[in-house]
């Protein structure tokens, strides 16, 4: 019967790992999500919450009974609280903090001294550490006791707890017990600072060939390590932010967020777009007299704006990626500008001619062909310039070009396109 069925389904769900349960909870509408959440065994709830995106997570947090929290927080660790804290009301953060032991409280306080776009916020504190004068025998003893996940190195520190060097565990296995570890250290391991930007630091971890990199403070004191799992999560989030930003959303957007919340989130972006659309319309309005006399201009108008918008967004996307990966710098902006202008010039000429010819045959009017041809060429070249400058300038102003670049760019190409087309139309056709 149906109760048995539900039980069987629930068992099947619960048998999966935390990420799978989190993904499932994100994939169902709010009602079944909440009922699944009620039925989830209490000891799984915290781990599942940690794996979820903020928006769907907050719905579950709001629906959790007040009395339940101290049980949920009974085994919480600093890293979990750091992941959850932005989704929790302050009183729950305080409650969870009180459940941490002294050591974990220190880790938590240390981490919150860094912003969440800094490496220091995302550290792992399970470390294998030995003094600088330790021998292979000490290393082996340490390894036999307990090796944390994603840990393939032992860190050596001096007497002031300052980071000194790294030894790969695998080099220890093959060496005689009396050899000092300093003879086995890695020469070229990157060392991260707590204040380093988290995406770039994470890329360094992924590339390093190590399971984690050491992280130090300004005085070279060892703070912890950034392991490859955290690094990969940070990079995945970075990319998701980019993908979602192109549509004015953030990476925490919930597939099934409540309608009011979702509508509110998106309304801002629609409003900003509306302002730019009105601006474009206002420019079109300047040419009312022309439009009245040459209605073909009204018919062809969207083509000019659209070709500029597409050409510009191609340049923009390339530059935004380059900025994010550190490949676009002051040193090559000029050369990039020249190259994009040439690409824009080539495509501008080709498409301007094609569109001009089509427009001529459509309206059997040479001048209309000439006007749209010039306007397209002009707009595609303008799009190339804006496609380079808009993101570079936004980046300099510390505004995320992935988010605001496209709306600014489209405003430029719309206005340039309409004004060029209708202006030339006024000159040639009236």
Q: Which stretch binds its own copies (CB under 8 A): 1-9, 80-88, 213-221, 252-260?
A: 252-260
Q: Find the binder of its own copies among 88, 96, 226, 307 (CB under 8 A).
A: 307
User: Contacts for 59-68 with beta carbons within 8 Å, 24 or more apart?
Assistant: 59/30, 59/33, 59/34, 59/254, 59/257, 59/258, 60/25, 60/33, 60/34, 61/87, 61/88, 61/92, 63/34, 63/37, 64/37, 68/42
In degrees and rounded to multiples of 5, residue 428 shows phi and psi of -90, -30
Q: Find the binder of its own copies among 8, 9, 14, 19 (CB under 8 A).
A: 19
CB of 88: closest distance to its own copies in angstroms?
Answer: 23
Between CA 226 and CA 155 the distance in angstroms is 13
Residues within window 366-425 making contact with its own copies, judged by CB under 8 A: 414, 418
Is 3 a residue that touches its own copies (CB under 8 A)?
no
CB of 317: closest distance to its own copies in angstroms?
Answer: 4
Q: Find the binder of its own copies among 9, 350, 393, 399 (CB under 8 A).
A: 350
How far, CA to CA in Å, does 198 sit from each of 103, 117, 159, 192, 195? 24, 5, 29, 10, 8
Q: Which residue's CB is nearer to its own copies, number 110 or number 253?
A: 253
Q: Which residue's CB is nearer to its own copies, number 45 or number 321?
A: 321
* Cβ neighbourhood burial of 17 (10 Å; 0-12, 13-18, 19+): exposed
Q: Which stretch binds its own copies (CB under 8 A): 106-114, 159-167, 178-186, 345-353?
A: 345-353
Q: Which residue's CB is nearer to its own copies, number 28 or number 370?
A: 28
Between CA 68 and CA 46 the distance in angstroms is 11
Q: Find the binder of its own copies among 10, 129, 132, 147 (CB under 8 A).
A: 147
Q: Which residue's CB is nearer to its own copies, number 92 or number 373?
A: 373
Residues within window 269-288 making contact with its own copies, judged by CB under 8 A: 269-271, 273-274, 276-278, 280-281, 284-285, 288
Q: Find the binder of its own copies among 55, 58, 196, 253 (CB under 8 A).
A: 253
The two three-digit tokens of residue 430, written as one number? 């009236």
Q: Find the binder of its own copies among 10, 13, 28, 385 (CB under 8 A).
A: 28
Size of the site for its own copies (CB under 8 A): 104
Cβ pair 213, 189 in contact under 8 A? yes
H or E element: which one contains 297? Answer: helix 295-324
Is 129 a residue that touches its own copies (CB under 8 A)?
no
Kindly write out the interface string for residues 162-201 of this chain, putting x where it contacts its own copies by CB under 8 A and - elsewhere. Answer: -------xx--xx-------------x-------------
Cα–Cα–Cα angle for 131, 101, 43, rounded to 5 degrees: 115
Check the CA dihedral 377-338-397-325 and report its sign.
Answer: positive
Kindly write out the interface string for residues 312-331 of this chain, putting x where it contacts its own copies by CB under 8 A and - elsewhere. Answer: -xx-xxx--xx--xxxxx--
CB of 67: closest distance to its own copies in angstroms?
Answer: 31
Q: Is 214 helix (H, G, I), strand (E, B) or coil?
A: strand
Do strands 222-227 and 212-216 pair parallel, antiparallel, or not at all (unpaired)? antiparallel
Is 298 a residue that touches its own copies (CB under 8 A)?
yes
Q: Find the binder of its own copies among 236, 393, 396, 399 (CB under 8 A).
A: 236
Between CA 114 and CA 197 the distance in angstroms is 10
């Amino acid at each position: 019967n149906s109760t048995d069925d539900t039980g069987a389904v629930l068992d099947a769900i619960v048998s999966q790992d935390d990420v799978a349960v989190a993904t499932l909870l994100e994939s169902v509408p709010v009602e079944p999500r909440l009922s699944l959440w009620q039925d989830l065994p209490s000891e799984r709830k915290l781990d599942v919450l940690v794996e979820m995106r903020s928006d769907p997570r907050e719905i579950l947090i709001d629906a959790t009974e007040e009395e339940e929290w101290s049980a949920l927080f009974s085994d919480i660790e600093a890293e979990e609280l750091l992941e959850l804290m932005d989704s929790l009301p302050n009183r729950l953060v305080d409650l969870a903090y009180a459940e941490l032991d002294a050591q974990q409280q220190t880790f938590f306080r240390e981490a919150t001294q860094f912003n969440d776009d800094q490496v220091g916020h995302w550290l792992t504190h399970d470390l294998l550490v030995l003094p600088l004068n330790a021998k292979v025998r000490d290393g082996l003893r340490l390894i036999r006791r307990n090796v944390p996940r994603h840990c393939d190195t032992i860190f050596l520190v001096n007497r002031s707890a300052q980071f000194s060097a790294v030894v790969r565990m695998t080099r220890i296995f093959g060496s005689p017990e009396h050899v000092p570890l300093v003879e086995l250290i890695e020469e070229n391991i990157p060392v991260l600072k707590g204040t380093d930007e988290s995406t770039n630091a994470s890329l360094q971890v992924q590339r390093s060939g190590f399971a984690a990199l050491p992280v130090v403070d300004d005085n070279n004191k060892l703070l912890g390590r950034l392991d490859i799992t955290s690094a990969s999560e940070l990079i995945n989030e970075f990319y998701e932010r980019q993908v979602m930003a192109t549509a004015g959303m953030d990476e925490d957007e919930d597939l099934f967020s409540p309608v009011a919340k979702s509508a509110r989130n998106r309304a801002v972006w629609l409003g900003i777009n509306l302002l730019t659309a009105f601006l474009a319309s206002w420019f079109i309005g300047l040419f009312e007299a022309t439009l009245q006399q040459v209605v073909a201009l009204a018919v062809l108008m969207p083509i000019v704006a659209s070709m500029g918008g597409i050409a510009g967004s191609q340049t923009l996307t390339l530059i935004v990626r380059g900025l994010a990966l550190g490949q676009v710098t002051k040193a090559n902006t000029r050369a990039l500008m020249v190259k994009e202008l040439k690409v824009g010039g080539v495509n501008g000429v080709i498409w301007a001619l094609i569109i001009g010819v089509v427009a001529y045959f459509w309206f059997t009017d040479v001048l209309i062909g000439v006007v749209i041809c010039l306007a397209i060429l002009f707009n595609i070249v303008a799009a190339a310039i804006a496609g380079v400058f808009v993101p570079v300038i936004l980046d300099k102003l510390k505004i995320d070009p992935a988010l605001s670049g496209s709306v600014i760019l489209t405003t430029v190409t719309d206005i340039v396109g309409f004004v060029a087309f209708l202006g030339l139309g006024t000159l040639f056709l009236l």
